[in-house]
């Protein structure tokens, strides 16, 4: 955290925050956090589904030693009003150490996580079932398919081979 007049914090994005950047940032860095794995285990009632028919979006699950790649943004504290609202359906902010790809330096920051005890959590399911769920879901922010395929493309651009995301994207493209 940077204190003072220009108070700012690093926020690490691993899902839609990588490709849908609807907030101002001061710095943007390709980065990773350790000990977390990306999974389409969170229900979406407000973006890619509805309360009656939730979509499936990503959260992180604890896997010691696992490196999750994404994008970190240095943002002014006022930006969290917008981000907290955007991530309100079951996500909470937690602290993390962020490692920057460019130079291996680290910084303290936060990320949004949807833990298994939140009301919208869906959890694991066979990969074909998750793909079928995504294929039929849609919400105010657009189709769940678009969320998945844009994330898969963004991760490809970051040179990240996320097998869970790529397997789902292959099933959706079939
Ligand atoms: C994130 O992108 O970091 C959180 C999950 C999402 O909004 O897709």
Instruction: Point out the residues that are catalytic.
Output: 87
Confidence of residue 94 (pLDDT cuts 50, 70, 90): very high
Question: How far is the C-alpha of 152 from the C-alpha of 148, rounded, in Å?
Answer: 6
Please determine, for residue 86, whether its predicted confidence score (pLDDT) is greater than 90.
Answer: yes
Q: What pLDDT score does 123 carry?
A: 98
CATH architecture of 8-173: Roll (3.10)
Measure 57 CA to ligand 1 centroid, in angstroms: 8
Specify whether the CB–CB gap between 129 and 140 falls below 8 A.
no
* 17 ligand 1 Cβ < 6 A: yes
Average pLDDT, the chain: 96
Q: What pLDDT score does 1 carry?
A: 58
Specify whether the CB–CB gap between 122 and 56 falls below 8 A.
yes
Q: What pLDDT score does 93 carry?
A: 97
What share of residues in the chain are helix, strand, coil (percent, to 5)?
25, 40, 35
Q: What pLDDT score does 172 carry?
A: 97
Q: What is the pLDDT of residues 111-123, one digit of tens each?
A: 999 999 999 999 9
Q: What pLDDT score does 5 carry?
A: 46
Please determine, for residue 99, whether its predicted confidence score (pLDDT) is greater than 80.
Answer: yes
Query: Mean pLDDT over residues 134-158, rounded?
Result: 98
Nearest CA residue ID for atom 3, ligand 1: 13
Query: Mean pLDDT over residues 16-31, rounded?
Result: 98
Q: What pLDDT score does 57 carry?
A: 98
Positive or negative CA dihedral for 108, 114, 118, 124? negative
Measure 22 CA to ligand 1 centroid, in angstroms: 12
Best of 12, 15, 25, 54 for a ligand 1 pocket test (most atoms within 8 Å of beta carbon):
15
Question: How far is the C-alpha of 106 from the C-alpha of 108, rounded, in Å?
Answer: 7
Question: How far is the C-alpha of 152 from the C-alpha of 170, rounded, in Å?
Answer: 10
Give the closest residue to 130 by CA, choosing from 154, 147, 113, 118: 147
Q: What pLDDT score does 6 carry?
A: 56
Measure 154 CA to ligand 1 centroid, in angstroms: 13
């Amino acid at each position: 955290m940077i204190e003072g007049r220009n108070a700012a914090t690093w926020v690490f994005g691993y899902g839609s925050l990588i490709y849908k950047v609807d907030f101002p940032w001061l710095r943007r860095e390709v980065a990773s956090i350790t000990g977390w794995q990306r999974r389409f285990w969170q229900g979406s009632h407000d973006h890619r589904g509805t309360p009656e028919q939730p979509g499936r979006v990503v959260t992180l699950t604890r896997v010691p030693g696992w490196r999750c790649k994404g994008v970190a943004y240095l943002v002014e504290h006022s930006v969290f009003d917008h981000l907290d609202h955007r991530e309100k359906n079951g996500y909470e902010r937690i602290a993390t150490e962020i490692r920057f790809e460019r130079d291996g330096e680290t910084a303290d920051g936060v990320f949004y996580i949807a833990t298994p005890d939140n009301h919208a959590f869906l959890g694991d399911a066979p990969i074909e079932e998750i793909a079928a769920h995504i294929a039929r879901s849609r919400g105010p922010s657009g189709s769940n398919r678009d969320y998945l395929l844009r994330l898969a493309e963004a991760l490809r651009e970051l040179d990240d081979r996320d097998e869970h995301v790529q397997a789902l994207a292959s099933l959706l493209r079939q």
